[in-house]
Structure 1
Amino acid sequence: MPVDVRHAPAPACLRPVSVPLSAPDIGEAENAAVARALRSGWVAPLGPEVDAFEAQIAARTGRAHGVALSSGTAALHLGLLGIGVGQGTVVVTSTFTFAATANAVTYTGAEPWFVDCCPATGNLCPELLEESLAQLAAAGRRVSAVLPVDIYGKVADLRRIGEVADRYGVPVLCDSAESLGARLDGRAAGSFGAAAAISFNGNKIMTTSGGGMLVTDDERLATTARRVASQARQPVRHYEHTEIGFNYRLSNVLAALGRAQLARLDDMMARRREIRDDYRRLTAGRDSVAVFQGADDRDDNCWLSSLLFADPAAVRIVTDRLAEAAIETRPLWKPLHRQPVFADLGRTVTGSADDLFARGLTLPSGSGLGADDRARVLDVLTRALDEVDGRA
Structure 2
Amino acid sequence: MKTNKVNERIFLSSPHMSDEGYEMEYVKEAFDTNWIAPLGANVDGFERELAEKVGSNSAAALTSGTAAIHLALKAAGVGSGDIVFCQSLTFSATANPIIYQNAIPVFIDSNYETWNMCPKALEKAFKKYPEVKAVIVVHLYGLSADMDKIVELCKKHNVVLIEDAAESLGTYYKGKHTGTFGDYGIFSFNGNKIITTSGGGMLVSDNEERIAKARFWATQSRDQAKHYQHSELGFNYRMSNVVAGIGRGQLKVLDQRVAKKNYILEFYKRELGGLEGLEFMPSNEWDEPNYWLSSITLTGKVRPIDVFNALETENIESRPVWKPMHLQPFFEKYDFVGEGISEKLFENGVCLPSDTKMTDEDLGRVVETIKGLWI
TM beyond 0.5: yes
Partner of 1:96: 89
Q: What does residue range 296-307 of structure 1 map to in structure 2 within 5 Å?
A: 299-307=288-296
| Aligned residue-pair number | 367
Letter of the 2:76 partner, please give it: I
Give the RMSD, CA atoms, in angstroms: 1.6
Residues 1:115 and 2:104 are matched in the alignment = no
Alignment deviations for residues 179-201 of structure 1 (CA, whole Å, 9 cap, x no partner): 11100011111111111111111
Contact 1:154 1:297 in 2 (8 A): no
Residues 1:145 and 2:138 are matched in the alignment = no
Q: What does residue range 44-83 of structure 1 map to in structure 2 within 5 Å?
A: 44-83=37-76
Q: What does residue range 1-392 of structure 1 map to in structure 2 within 5 Å?
A: 18-27=9-18, 28-137=21-130, 142-294=131-283, 299-311=288-300, 314-384=303-373, 386=374, 392=375
The change in CA–CA distance for 1:99 and 1:310 in structure 2 (over 3 A counts) is: same
Tell me how far apart the structure 2 counterparts of residues 124 and 312 of structure 1 sit (CA, whole Å): 29
Contact 2:92 2:325 in 1 (8 A): yes
Letter of the 2:335 partner, please give it: G
Q: Secondary structure at the match of 2:297?
A: strand
Q: Secondary structure at the match of 1:166?
A: helix
Q: Secondary structure at the match of 2:330?
A: helix
Partner of 2:3: none
Contact 1:117 1:124 in 2 (8 A): yes
Tell me how far apart the structure 1 counterparts of residues 74 and 144 of structure 2 sit (CA, whole Å): 23
Partner of 1:9: none
Contact 1:272 1:303 in 2 (8 A): yes
Tell me how far apart the structure 1 counterparts of residues 313 and 287 of structure 2 sit (CA, whole Å): 33
Alignment deviations for residues 208-246 of structure 1 (CA, whole Å, 9 cap, x no partner): 100000000112211110000000011222111111100
Tell me how far apart the structure 2 counterparts of residues 288 and 323 of structure 1 sit (CA, whole Å): 21
Deviation at 1:294, TM superposition (A): 4.3
Tell me how far apart the structure 2 counterparts of residues 76 and 162 of structure 1 sit (CA, whole Å): 18
Q: Secondary structure at the match of 1:148?
A: strand
Contact 2:173 2:287 in 1 (8 A): no
Letter of the 2:353 partner, please give it: P
Q: Secondary structure at the match of 1:173?
A: strand
Tell me how far apart the structure 2 counterparts of residues 349 and 47 of structure 1 sit (CA, whole Å): 46
Q: Which runs of 5+ in 2 are unaligned?
A: 1-6
Tell me how far apart the structure 2 counterparts of residues 251 and 315 of structure 1 sit (CA, whole Å): 40
Q: Secondary structure at the match of 1:147?
A: strand
Tell me how far apart the structure 2 counterparts of residues 171 and 315 of structure 1 sit (CA, whole Å): 37
Deviation at 1:159, TM superposition (A): 1.4
Tell me how far apart the structure 2 counterparts of residues 166 and 276 of structure 1 sit (CA, whole Å): 35
Tell me how far apart the structure 2 counterparts of residues 233 and 289 of structure 1 sit (CA, whole Å): 54
Tell me how far apart the structure 2 counterparts of residues 323 and 96 of structure 1 sit (CA, whole Å): 25
22-31 or 61-70: bigger deviation: 22-31
Contact 1:279 1:291 in 2 (8 A): no
Q: Secondary structure at the match of 1:133?
A: helix
Alignment deviations for residues 304-333 of structure 1 (CA, whole Å, 9 cap, x no partner): 111111237521111111010010010001
Letter of the 1:26 partner, please give it: M
The change in CA–CA distance for 1:37 and 1:370 in structure 2 (over 3 A counts) is: farther
Tell me how far apart the structure 2 counterparts of residues 216 and 312 of structure 1 sit (CA, whole Å): 46
Alignment deviations for residues 120-154 of structure 1 (CA, whole Å, 9 cap, x no partner): 321000111010010112xxxx3110111111001
Deviation at 1:370, TM superposition (A): 3.0
Letter of the 2:306 partner, please give it: I
Tell me how far apart the structure 1 counterparts of residues 301 and 98 of structure 2 sit (CA, whole Å): 32
Deviation at 1:263, TM superposition (A): 0.2
Contact 1:283 1:291 in 2 (8 A): no
Deviation at 1:295, TM superposition (A): 6.0
The change in CA–CA distance for 1:383 and 1:294 in structure 2 (over 3 A counts) is: farther
The change in CA–CA distance for 1:100 and 1:25 in structure 2 (over 3 A counts) is: same
Q: Please give the TM-score of this superposition, normalised by the length of structure 2.
A: 0.95
88-97 or 279-288: bigger deviation: 279-288
Letter of the 2:81 partner, please give it: G
Letter of the 2:137 partner, please give it: P
Partner of 1:5: none
Tell me how far apart the structure 2 counterparts of residues 116 and 311 of structure 1 sit (CA, whole Å): 24
322-331 or 374-383: bigger deviation: 374-383
